[in-house]
Structure formats: structure tokens, C-alpha cells
Amino acid sequence: MADKIDKVIVTNLGALRTKYRQKFSMIQKAITALITADQKRGLRAQLVAVDDSTTMRRFSARPVARTDDPAQNKAAVDAIYKALAPDYLMILGSIDVVPHQDLKNPLYGNTDPDPMALGDIPYACEAPYSKQPQDFVGPTRVVGRLPDITNSTDPAYIVNLLNNAASYKPLSQTDFTKYFAVSAQIWQKSSDLSVVKTFGNDQSLHDVPPDNSEWSSDELRRMAHFFNCHGASLYAQFFGQPADGSQNFPVALDAEYLDGKTPNGAVAAAECCYGGQLYDPAQCLSRPGQAGICNTYLGNGAWGFLGSTTIAYGPPEGNAQADLMCQYFLQSVLTGASLGRATLEARQQFVAASFPPDPSDIKTLAQFNLYGDPSITPVHTAQAVLPSGVKSLAPYSAERSDRHDRRRFLFRHGISLTEQTPVPRRAAKARPSILNGLKLKSRELGMEPGETLVFTIRHHPRPKSMPNGLATTKSMATGFHVLFAQRMEDTQTDTGPRIIRIERLSERKSMVSLCP
């Protein structure tokens, strides 16, 4: 274990130099400080530049020649992981430094307008580059991204994030007992279930309306934050909605109001559409120049933020899709996992719970990302602390061995999920009986049925030891029929965002997606 690399910081140094020019040295200094701080915490960290030909040659891989090429970046990260097998893999930089992977949205169409479900999960999987998100249902690696600001030329933001990661000290579980949670009123039942499962009570859950976005300092200074609200592309706000479903979307959280008010060390999970979108602030539609909520949290000193790059799915009352992803992540963090392990465990738990995953589950898995240093462990666990100036990792040998054993288990579990999880694929023909049933159900709910998508489920060969009674197709789902139904047209005003809400009502072989 003495020579093992515990943490790899992956970035494109050429892209960072191009962005920050003569100020790039400030980032180099901050990276060195983080590696030194990791050493004192018992982590042997190494910076790897995917665009450096000499470095990548050591890993028997080609350097990234095109910064924005997902395939080249995926191949480079795979080669690095295969050679070093780090316990933590941290992507340094926003999407203009190391891009999200360009996964196709399985539900793309007239109603779900996202052609891609952009995300980092392929970097966490053994499968080679692919645009099919179904190929990445078995994550094995602990991965997180510490982003700078997209298209920024000022290094102050990313230097601040690196320094914050270098100086972090775990807190006690009681520090996270009091939480801050906000829900669109129309999703109150679902949100109530989420916070009770995660925090044990619903005492700190706020509904918008009647509440508004001007939250008190007591609420914003809490360490654990959870949001189940509307979001919109290139907007720096989350939005609420009345319980009656009326097309009124008051602001529930505003990045400008939030800035400077959240605490150092906060951990946030947002189910909201586009809550994890890393956009260029100059493109912000609500307030040009304003960074998004995700970037604002990290800039304020948050240790981690889990969010979606695109439209997220979830039921109005129960829990599924985005609800479960955020729950599993926060639950794992609260029990002492690092941010990166909490994300991997959440992804694996989500796949297992969704068996077999429907198309909205596949999109959910693809679109949720961890932003933050994956090695940060927010909740205190027993750790040895090296005296000042001591460089030996010997006091951490047991801790490093235990962590490596956990990674072995999670790796095997991820491979098992890859080999055993049935996945949906687009098909051409709908079964009339199921389609008619879905249309009838949508009309019972007072909605007009619209676009239909059909998927078949590809099952893996069954183990020879499986009893016939468990393997018969009569007991297994064979496909999904997706019907999008509308209460009224999506809203678009001159002053407000285009709000798309997709809820999921499911049966074993069918799904109705509602988009008011």
C-alpha cells in the first residue's frame, strides 16, 4: 500500500492555461497545496494531465487532442484508472476543461426536449465510450468534479474551491442534524417522504408557496440542504408551484440572494431540473452574469452539491427517480461516507432499487453528478492526524487498507450490476392494449394524451442455478410504454422561464409521464 496512489486529480492543463493565461500559476499553486494537505490526511494524491503526451504514454494511452471530445476524454480517464486504480478520482475543471459525456436521452422527443443527458457517470464505469446511457448501469469508481466557472478568465473562483478542499475538517453528525429543505408545494407529499427517510423528520421542510425565496440566515446556515423544486435551463433560480397545479411558479431559491449566506462545509442535493447545469454566467437568462445555484453553493464554500444537468423526473407523491438519487446520496453522507463514495453508493443503490430500470431511471442515472472533491468526508470518522512536518503514511495504513477493501467491494458490485441489470431499448411498435390503457388512465386524470414511446427490455442470460419459476418471462417485465400527457401547454413568458414538470406514474409494464 505504501506506493499506491489514493487520489488522482484529472484535468486538462492546456485548457486551463488557455483560460487563465498568466494567472494559471495561481491554480498550480492551489493544486500543490491540496496535494500537500491530502498527504497530511493520509492520501497520496497525484495530478494527471490528460493532454500531456509524456504522461499519457506511461499509461499506454493517447493524450486528449481536442478538449471538447468526450470519446478522447473517456479513453484517457479509463487508461488512468486502469493503471493507478485510485480510491478517488477528481475531475478538475468545468465542462470547457473536461467535458461531460454526451449520453443520448432515451426519452428525447416532442415532450422531453433534452437531446442529451449530459453527465460524468461514464467516467465512473468500466464500459468504453458510448452515447448509450444504458451501457453505464454498473458504476464502479468513486468520481467527483471540482468545477471552475465555464468560460471564466478569473482564477479566483477555482483557487477558492481548491483552498476550501485543502483546509476542510470533518464535522460531527450532529452538525448535520438540523437541515434546510424546500419543496414546490405541489410536491409536498413526495418531499415530506424524502426528508423523513433522510433526516428522520419533516420539521424543516418548507413549501413554496406559501413561503418565498428570502430565507432566514438561520435556515441558510444549516449544513445539509435539500431541494425538490422546478428548475429551468440557464436560470439561476429554483421555482415553486401551488398544490392546485396552477401555472404559477414563484421563486423558491435565488443564486444572487443565496450568495454569501450559505456556510462553509454545506452539502446540498437538488432534484430540480437543470440544478447541476454548469453554464456560462454570461448566458444566464434570468440575470446575465449570474452563476448558477450549483456554482454559487461551491463558491460559498459548500463541500458538495449533487444535481442534474437536464430535466429530472419524479412522482408527485411517492419516491422514485430524482427523489431516490438525492436520498441515497444524503443518507450515505450522513453515515460517514466521503462525498465520492456516497455518490457511487447512491448510483448503485438506485440501479438495484429500479430493477429493471425504465427509461426515466436510465436518464436519472445519467444526468446526476457530484460537484466537489470526492475525497471530502463531511461527517467525522476516527482518523489519525500526522504531526506537522511528518510525511510518512504509516499511521494511516489500516484506514487505507479498509478503504481499499471497500473499493474492491463496490467495484465487484458495479460489475455485477452491469452483468445482471436488464436495460430498456427503443422499439417501434406499441402494444395496443397497453397503449389504450395508458390513454384511458391519462383521461381519468384530466389530461390529454400525447406522444408515445415504446421500449423493449433486454434481459441478460439467466444463471443456470436460477429456478424456472423465477426465470419465466411471465414474472418479468418485457417492455415499457411511455405516454406523455398534458394538462395544458408548457408556459413561456417574456419574464419567466419555460417550466417543464415531468411526473411519473408507473405500473409494472407501463408508465405515464405528466408534463403540465
Q: Establish if 300 belongs to a structural domain.
A: yes
DSSP code of 198? Answer: H
pLDDT range class, residue 393, cuts 50, 70, 90: low
Peptide bond preceding 106: is omega within 30 degrees of 0, i.e. cis? Answer: no
State yes or no: pLDDT of 462 exceeds 80. Answer: no
User: What's the domain count of the chain?
Assistant: 2
Domain boundary among 346, 378, 410: 378
Decide: residue 210, CB within 10 A, 0-12 exposed, 13-18 middle, 19+ buried.
exposed
Same domain, residue pair 160 and 287: yes
Q: Establish if 41 belongs to a structural domain.
A: no
Same domain, residue pair 369 and 259: yes
State yes or no: pLDDT of 187 exceeds 60. Answer: yes
Beta sheet of 143-146, edge-to-edge order: 45-49, 7-11, 88-92, 143-146, 368-371, 304-308, 267-270, 224-228, 179-184, 205-208
Across the range 428-441, mean pLDDT stands at 82
Range of the domain at 161: 155-378
Q: Establish if 134 belongs to a structural domain.
A: no
Same domain, residue pair 186 and 295: yes
Question: What is the distance between the alpha carbons of residues 4 and 45, in angstroms, rounded to a whole number?
Answer: 9
Same domain, residue pair 344 and 484: no
State yes or no: pLDDT of 494 exceeds 70. Answer: no
Question: What is the distance between the alpha carbons of residues 315 and 502, in angstroms, rounded to a whole number?
Answer: 8
Same domain, residue pair 435 and 330: no
Across the range 381-403, mean pLDDT stands at 66
Type and span of the H or E element at 227: strand 224-228
N-to-C CA span, the chain: 55
Range name among 164-178, 309-323, 406-420, 464-478 with the lowest pLDDT average: 464-478
pLDDT range class, residue 498, cuts 50, 70, 90: low
Same domain, residue pair 326 and 221: yes
Same domain, residue pair 450 and 330: no
What DSSP line would sit under 148-193, residue for residue? Answer: --TT---THHHHHHHHHHHH---B-GGGGTSEEEEEEGGGHHHHHH
Same domain, residue pair 440 and 316: no
Same domain, residue pair 435 and 338: no
Q: Establish if 278 belongs to a structural domain.
A: yes
Same domain, residue pair 246 and 349: yes
Task: Return the CATH number at 247.
Answer: 3.40.50.1460
Across the range 224-249, mean pLDDT stands at 96
- 302 neighbors 268 (Cβ within 8 angstroms): yes
Q: What is this structure's pTM? A: 0.92
Q: Establish if 432 belongs to a structural domain.
A: yes
pLDDT tens track for 239-277 = 999 999 888 999 999 999 999 999 999 999 999 999 999
Question: What is the distance between the alpha carbons of residues 283 and 289, in angstroms, rounded to a whole number?
Answer: 7
Question: What is the distance between the alpha carbons of residues 508 and 510, in angstroms, rounded to a whole number?
Answer: 6
Q: Establish if 228 belongs to a structural domain.
A: yes
Question: What is the distance between the alpha carbons of residues 224 and 219, in angstroms, rounded to a whole number?
Answer: 10
Q: Establish if 104 belongs to a structural domain.
A: no
pLDDT range class, residue 511, cuts 50, 70, 90: very low
Q: Establish if 265 belongs to a structural domain.
A: yes
Domain boundary among 378, 393, 414: 378
Same domain, residue pair 435 and 345: no
Domain boundary among 378, 395, 415: 378
- Could you count the other beta carbons within 10 Å of the beta carbon of residue 196? 13
Same domain, residue pair 313 and 203: yes
